């Protein structure tokens, strides 16, 4: 396959990643996390998104599915964003977001957790981000399939999706790094943390609800 179509697909992946639903989901999962966790979460989200888009694009190329059924993919993405937003708002407004300082190997850092029990749950968070990225890929498969087919004029293949995923991953990682800077420099007090989580939750509700309209 020529390099120009792959370059165009890479650029489309960059544009696609700037969707408010994607950035909102990354914010929801990354806020209050360490830089390492934030990078792992954004990477998992990007991989899940790219893989699911590829799988469902291949399915749609061989199975005629009505637009009504495909629309449920958009509803699924919207529902995920709204559910996360409601959860963050509930945790912030009920005072269930806690913060504490810890020291490991001479390095002092902050830990943020939900509820009374303090736990890291790094693997669970990364898995959740991978799952949400996969679910949201279902909602974006129609647009990607049309765009990629228009660019390449033939079936969606692995190289095309790899180029698309790299473009998406680039934006996600840059945005994740930006969130990590906010986490490190602004989220140092209980008040700031609750405000940040409540704000992220409210934005999620607005973005998710707008996707239904």
Decide: 200 and 27 in contact? Cβ < 8 Å.
Answer: yes
DSSP-assigned beta bridge partners for residue 110 = 101
Give the three-class secondary structure for 46: helix
Residue ranges of the alpha helices (H) in the chain? 3-17, 20-30, 35-62, 67-93, 122-152, 158-185, 190-212
Q: What are phi and psi of 100, to 5 degrees?
A: -155, 155
Decide: 80 and 136 in contact? Cβ < 8 Å.
Answer: yes
pLDDT in tens, 69-105: 556 666 777 787 888 889 888 888 887 777 666 666 6
Residue 208 sits at the vertex; the CA angle it makes with 206 and 213, to the nearest 5 degrees, is: 90
Q: How far is CA 207 from CA 72, 76, 155, 201, in A?
A: 17, 13, 32, 10
pLDDT in tens, 16-73: 888 887 888 888 888 877 788 888 888 888 888 777 777 776 676 666 655 555 566 6
């Amino acid at each position: 396959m020529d390099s120009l179509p792959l370059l165009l697909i890479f650029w489309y992946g960059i544009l696609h990643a700037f969707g408010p639903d994607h950035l909102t989901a990354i914010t929801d999962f990354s806020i209050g996390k360490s830089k390492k966790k934030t990078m792992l979460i954004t990477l998992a989200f990007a991989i899940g998104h790219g893989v699911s888009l590829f799988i469902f694009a291949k399915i749609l190329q061989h199975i005629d599915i009505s637009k009504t059924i495909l629309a449920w993919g958009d509803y699924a993405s919207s529902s995920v964003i709204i559910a996360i937003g409601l959860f963050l708002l509930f945790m912030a407004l009920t005072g269930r977001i806690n913060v504490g300082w810890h020291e490991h190997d001479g390095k002092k850092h902050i830990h943020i957790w939900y509820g009374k029990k303090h736990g890291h749950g790094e693997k669970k968070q990364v898995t959740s981000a991978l799952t949400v990225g996969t679910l949201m890929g279902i909602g974006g498969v129609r647009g990607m399939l049309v765009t990629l087919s228009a660019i390449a004029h033939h079936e969606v293949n692995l190289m095309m999706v790899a180029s698309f995923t790299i473009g998406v991953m680039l934006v996600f990682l840059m945005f994740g790094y930006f969130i990590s800077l906010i986490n490190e420099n602004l989220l140092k007090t209980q008040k700031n943390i609750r405000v940040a989580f409540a704000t992220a939750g409210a934005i999620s509700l607005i973005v998710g609800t707008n996707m239904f309209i």
